C-alpha cells in the first residue's frame, strides 16, 4: 500500500472536473470508479463533504489504497495495490460508512431488456425499470433504471445520498435511451427521485420514477424503494374458477367504492392501514350484501386527492394513502377467499401536468404529444399519451399487467375510452389533427387498445377488461380477431342516461317519455354490457340517486326501489356506486364517509335490504343472468302501455330453467287484474316485490303466488291476472 500510495494518479481533465462539480457530466463511468492507467489501477470517487476515503479489499477488508481529495472538491482519487473487488471506507464529519463503489459494477440491464422495451413488448417492466432490490456479484443493493432518451445527463438522488445530484450520476444505454445505476446497500423504504438535464443543458424539475412500485404519501412526491414481494397467496381456487365467474353467462353485481370515503379509518394508535380496515369491515359488508365484485376508483398513485385517482402519475404504485403495496395484496387475497372479485379503475388516457411527473420528462414531449392539438386535454388540463410510440404503449400495457399478474386483480375498467378513440374529442373544428386518412378516429389509440386486450387475454386467463366508452363506437366487445377492440364488457352509458332521465320525471309525465325505458333493448345485444349507476351520477351538483326521485318522501323511496328492481332484472351486469344501496340523501363527498347513520331509519334500511335481496335473487335465478348477451333470453310482454307507465317482460335461462316475469308499474296508482301472457302454465311465485313492507313499501302484491288462467294474451295461450303495486317492480318465477 505504501508504495502505491506514493504514486499520484494523472489529473482529471478540466472539462471532466468541471462537469462533475456542476452535476452535468453525462458519462460518469468514463471518469469514476476503477480505471487502468500506466501508473496502475486508479480509483476515483465523487463524495462531496467526505473527509477521507480508504479502499478495502472486500474479501478480507485489508486496506489496499487511500484516495486523496483533488480538484474539484469532493473528488477523491488514488492508485490501489491490486485489482480486486473492493469497498470504500468513507469518513464523513459525523460517521464512517463502508460501501461498495457503484462505479465498479458493469452494465446492469441485459440487452434483451433494452430490446424488448424499445419494441414496446417488455411486459415485466417493473422488474427491469424503476428501483429493484437485488444482489449483484454478491452485493445487495438497488438497481435504478429510467427511460430518458433525450436527456444529456441523469442522476438518482435520495435519502441515501443527501439528495445530492453530484453523487450518483447514471450510465446511458444508448440503444434504448435507458439510464441505469446499481447503488449498493440502499434499503427498501428509501425515498428517491431523478435529477435530469435535458437536451441543451436545461435541468428539469426533480422527477418521480414512472415505474416506481411505491411512493411516499401525498402531498409528498418522492418515489420509494419497494421491498421485494414475499406475499404468499391463498387464492388458487378462486384464480382457477374466475373465468367462469366473470363470463357473459355469470351473475356479476359490482359495488363501486372510493375507499377513503366509504368509511373513515379511525386512527387509534395502532399500525392498521386502510387496507386492514377494508379487510375487517368492507369485505364482510360485501359478502353480506351479496355483491360478486368490488370496483375501486383508481388506486394508482395520484398527487391530487380531489381527482379521486383519475389523474394518476404512478401507474405501478398503489397509493400510499391506504398503506404499503403488500397491504393491497392482503386485501385482494382476502376478497378472493371470501369469493369476491376485484376490478380496478385504470387510466391510460391521460396524465396530469405536475412538474414531478411524466410531463416533459426528459425535457421533451416523451410520454405525450408535442402538438397540443394531439397532446393536451383542455377539459381536464392533462396531457394525452402518445399511443403511436412503441415505448409508451409498452409502458401502459406493462402497467395493466402489473396489477393483473402481480396483485391477482380480476379486471380493469379502462377510463375515458371515448376520449382516446376520437382525435376531435371535446375539441372545436380548428383544434385537432386528422389521422393519416383525414378522419377523426385515433388509429394509434385503437391499435393500442387492441394490443392491450390481446396481451391481457393471452397472459391473464379469466381476467376481464371493461371499457367506459360513451359513444356508439362499433365492436368495443368484439374480439380483436374480428377487428373489434377486444374488451370483455362495456359500460352502457346510454341505458344509464335514458333511464335516469325517465325516472326523474314526475309519474304524471312519464307517459311522454316511455321510450327512455325501452330504447336500451334496441341495442342491448350489440355489445356485452354492464349497467352502471356510477359515482359520476352523484357528484358535481347532480345530487344523490334518492334526490333525483320525484314526489314526496314515500314516493322518492318507492321510485328508487322500483328503479333498482328494473335495473337488476334488465339484461346486463350490474354496477352500483356506494351509498346508493342505503339511499344516501346527500351528494357524494370524497372528503367524508357515507352517512351510515341513515340505516337507523326504516326507509333507508329497507332499500339496503332490497339491494341485498336483489343480489341474491339475481344470483339464484339463471333467467336473470345466464342469457344476458342473447336476444332469446328476453321477451317484451308489455312494452307499449304508455298510459299506465307499465313495463312487462320475461327473462329466460337455458336448459329449461324457470322463466322470470318482471312487471314495473311506474305510477303511484295500484292496478288490479292486470293481464299479462306468460310462457308457462301453472303457478308463478312472487320472488321480488319492491313494495313489500320489508323494504318500506305499502305491501300491495299477489299474496306470494298467482296461477295462470286459460285466457290467451300477448301471444301466449295462458296468462296471469296480477295486482301491480304502486311505484314498484315485481318479479315472478314460473314453477315447474
- So which residues are the catalytic ones? 415, 468
As a whole number of angstroms, the distance between CA 146 and CA 171 comes to 10
Asked if 449 and 486 count as a contact pair (C-beta separation under 8 A), the reply is: yes
Give the contacts of 730 (CB within 8 A, at least 6 positions apart). Answer: 565, 662, 663, 686, 688, 689, 690, 691, 701, 702, 722, 724
What would the grid cell of residue 331 be? 386485501
Among candidate residues 610, 559, 577, the one with its CA nearest the CA of residue 731: 610
Give the contacts of 159 (CB within 8 A, at least 6 positions apart). Answer: 190, 191, 192
3-state DSSP assignment of residue 353: coil
3-state DSSP assignment of residue 335: helix
CA distances from 197 to 14, 42, 402 (A): 20, 28, 29
Burial 592-629 (b: 16+ CB within 10 A, else e): eebbeebbeeebbbbbbbbbebbbebbbebbbbbbbbb
What would the grid cell of residue 391 be? 415505448
- Element spanning 551, H or E: none
**Beta bridge partner(s), residue 574:** 253, 531
Burial of 390 (0-12, 13-18, 19+ CB in 10 A): middle
- In this structure, the number of other CB atoms found within 10 A of the CB of residue 371 comes to 11
Among candidate residues 16, 27, 32, the one with its CA nearest the CA of residue 174: 27
Give the contacts of 222 (CB within 8 A, at least 6 positions apart). Answer: 158, 191, 192, 193, 208, 215, 216
Residue listed under C-alpha cell 490501489: 80
Give the contacts of 728 (CB within 8 A, at least 6 positions apart). Answer: 558, 561, 562, 565, 664, 665, 689, 690, 691, 697, 700
Give the contacts of 285 (CB within 8 A, at least 6 positions apart). Answer: none
Amino acid at each position: 500500500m505504501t508504495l502505491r500510495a506514493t504514486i499520484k494518479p494523472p489529473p482529471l481533465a478540466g472539462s471532466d472536473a468541471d462537469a462533475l462539480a456542476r452535476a452535468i457530466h453525462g458519462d460518469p463511468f468514463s471518469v469514476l470508479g476503477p480505471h487502468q492507467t500506466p501508473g496502475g489501477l486508479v480509483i476515483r470517487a465523487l463524495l462531496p463533504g467526505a473527509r477521507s476515503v480508504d479502499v478495502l479489499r472486500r474479501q478480507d477488508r485489508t486496506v489496499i489504497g487511500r484516495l486523496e481529495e483533488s480538484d474539484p472538491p469532493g473528488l477523491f482519487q488514488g492508485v490501489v495495490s491490486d485489482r480486486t473487488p473492493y469497498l470504500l471506507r468513507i469518513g464523513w464529519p459525523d460517521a464512517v460508512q463502508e460501501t461498495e463503489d457503484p462505479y465498479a459494477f458493469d452494465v446492469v440491464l441485459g440487452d434483451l431488456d433494452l430490446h424488448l422495451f424499445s419494441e414496446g413488448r417488455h411486459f415485466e417492466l417493473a422488474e427491469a425499470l424503476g428501483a429493484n432490490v437485488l444482489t449483484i456479484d454478491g452485493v445487495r443493493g438497488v438497481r435504478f433504471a429510467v427511460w430518458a432518451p433525450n436527456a444529456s445527463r441523469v442522476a438518482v438522488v435520495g435519502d441515501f445520498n443527501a439528495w445530492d445530484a453530484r453523487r450518483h450520476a447514471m450510465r446511458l444505454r444508448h440503444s434504448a435511451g435507458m439510464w441505469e445505476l446499481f447503488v449498493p446497500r440502499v434499503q427498501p423504504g428509501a425515498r428517491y427521485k431523478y435529477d435530469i438535464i435535458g437536451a441543451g443543458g436545461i435541468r428539469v424539475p426533480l422527477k418521480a420514477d414512472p415505474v416506481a412500485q411505491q411512493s411516499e404519501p401525498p402531498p409528498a412526491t418522492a418515489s420509494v424503494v419497494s421491498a421485494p414481494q414475499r406475499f404468499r397467496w391463498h387464492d388458487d381456487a378462486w384464480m382457477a374458477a374466475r373465468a367462469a365467474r366473470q363470463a357473459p353467462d355469470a351473475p356479476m353485481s359490482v359495488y363501486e367504492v372510493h375507499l377513503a370515503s366509504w368509511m373513515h379509518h379511525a386512527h387509534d394508535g395502532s399500525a392498521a392501514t386502510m387496507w386492514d380496515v377494508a379487510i375487517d369491515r368492507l369485505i364482510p359488508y360485501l359478502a353480506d350484501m351479496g355483491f360478486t365484485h368490488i370496483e375501486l376508483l383508481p388506486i394508482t398513485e395520484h398527487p391530487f386527492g380531489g381527482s379521486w385517482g383519475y389523474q394518476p402519475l404512478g401507474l405501478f404504485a398503489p397509493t400510499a394513502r391506504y398503506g404499503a403495496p403488500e397491504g393491497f395484496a392482503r386485501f385482494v387475497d382476502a376478497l378472493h377467499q371470501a369469493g369476491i372479485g376485484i376490478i380496478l379503475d385504470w387510466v391510460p388516457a391521460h396524465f396530469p401536468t405536475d412538474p414531478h411527473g411524466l410531463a416533459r420528462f426528459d425535457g421533451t414531449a416523451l410520454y405525450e404529444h408535442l402538438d397540443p392539438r394531439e397532446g393536451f386535454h383542455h377539459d381536464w388540463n392533462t396531457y394525452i399519451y402518445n399511443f403511436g410510440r412503441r415505448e409508451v404503449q409498452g409502458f401502459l400495457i406493462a402497467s395493466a399487467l402489473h396489477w393483473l399478474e402481480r396483485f391477482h386483480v380480476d379486471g380493469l375498467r379502462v377510463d375515458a375510452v371515448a376520449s382516446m378513440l376520437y382525435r376531435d374529442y371535446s375539441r372545436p373544428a380548428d383544434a385537432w389533427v386528422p389521422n393519416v386518412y383525414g378522419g377523426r378516429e385515433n388509429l394509434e389509440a385503437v391499435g393500442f387498445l387492441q394490443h392491450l386486450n390481446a396481451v391481457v387475454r393471452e397472459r391473464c386467463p379469466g381476467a376481464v377488461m371493461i371499457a367506459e366508452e360513451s359513444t356508439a363506437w362499433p365492436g368495443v366487445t368484439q374480439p380483436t380477431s374480428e377487428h373489434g377492440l377486444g374488451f370483455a364488457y362495456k359500460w352502457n352509458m346510454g341505458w344509464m342516461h335514458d333511464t335516469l332521465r325517465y325516472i326523474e320525471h314526475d309519474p304524471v309525465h312519464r307517459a311522454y317519455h316511455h321510450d327512455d325505458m325501452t330504447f336500451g333493448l334496441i341495442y342491448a345485444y350489440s355489445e356485452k354490457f354492464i349497467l352502471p349507476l356510477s359515482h359520476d351520477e352523484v357528484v358535481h351538483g347532480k345530487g344523490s340517486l334518492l334526490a333525483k326521485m320525484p314526489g314526496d318522501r314515500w314516493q322518492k323511496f318507492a321510485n328508487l326501489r322500483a328503479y333498482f328492481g328494473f335495473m337488476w332484472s334488465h339484461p346486463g351486469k350490474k354496477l352500483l356506486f356506494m351509498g346508493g344501496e342505503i339511499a344516501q340523501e346527500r351528494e357524494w363527498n370524497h372528503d367524508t364517509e357515507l352517512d351510515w347513520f341513515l340505516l337507523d331509519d326504516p326507509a333507508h334500511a329497507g332499500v339496503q335490504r332490497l339491494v341485498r335481496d336483489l343480489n341474491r335473487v339475481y344470483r339464484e335465478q339463471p333467467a336473470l343472468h345466464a342469457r344476458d348477451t342473447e336476444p332469446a333470453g328476453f321477451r317484451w310482454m308489455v312494452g307499449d302501455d304508455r298510459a299506465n307507465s307499465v313495463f312487462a317482460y320475461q327473462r329466460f335461462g337455458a336448459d329449461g330453467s324457470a322463466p322470470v316475469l318482471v312487471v314495473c308499474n311506474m305510477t303511484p296508482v295500484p292496478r288490479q287484474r292486470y293481464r299479462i301472457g306468460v310462457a308457462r302454465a301453472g303457478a308463478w311465485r312472487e320472488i321480488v316485490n319492491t313494495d313489500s313492507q320489508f323494504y318500506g313499501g305499502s305491501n300491495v302484491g299477489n299474496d306470494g303466488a298467482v296461477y295462470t288462467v286459460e285466457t290467451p294474451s300477448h301471444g301466449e295461450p295462458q296468462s296471469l291476472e296480477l295486482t301491480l303495486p304502486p311505484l314498484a317492480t315485481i318479479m315472478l318465477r314460473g314453477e315447474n
